[in-house]
Amino acid sequence: MIQVITSGRGSLREKIMSDQRLGKFGLIPTEHQRPGRPHGWAKIHSAREAHGAINLEWHGRSGTLICRVVT
């Protein structure tokens, strides 16, 4: 289960990508906003033996951050 809780203003995606606690859980923010890709996306990879990634994508029309776990 992934649960994200935030308060205040600013980009939720950016808050997640810059969270210093990611390393505590063996997660590494690896990519975001590469030229040629849609705006508002990011990717977090596992730093340990576990394979997988978390893909984050902002859907502006609905004001929703979509998080997909890929294993």
pLDDT in tens, the chain (71 residues): 666 666 667 778 888 889 999 999 899 998 776 666 667 789 999 987 778 899 988 877 777 888 888 88
Q: Which of 13, 19, 69, 68 is nearest to 41 (CA)?
A: 13
1 part of a folded domain: no
pLDDT of residue 27: 92
Residues 39 and 58: their CA atoms lie apart, in Å, by 8
Q: Are 41 and 53 in contact (CB under 8 A)?
A: no
| pTM (predicted TM-score) | 0.74
Helices (H) and strands (E) in the chain, counts: 1, 4
44 part of a folded domain: yes
Can you give the residue range of the structural domain that contains 56?
27-70
64 part of a folded domain: yes
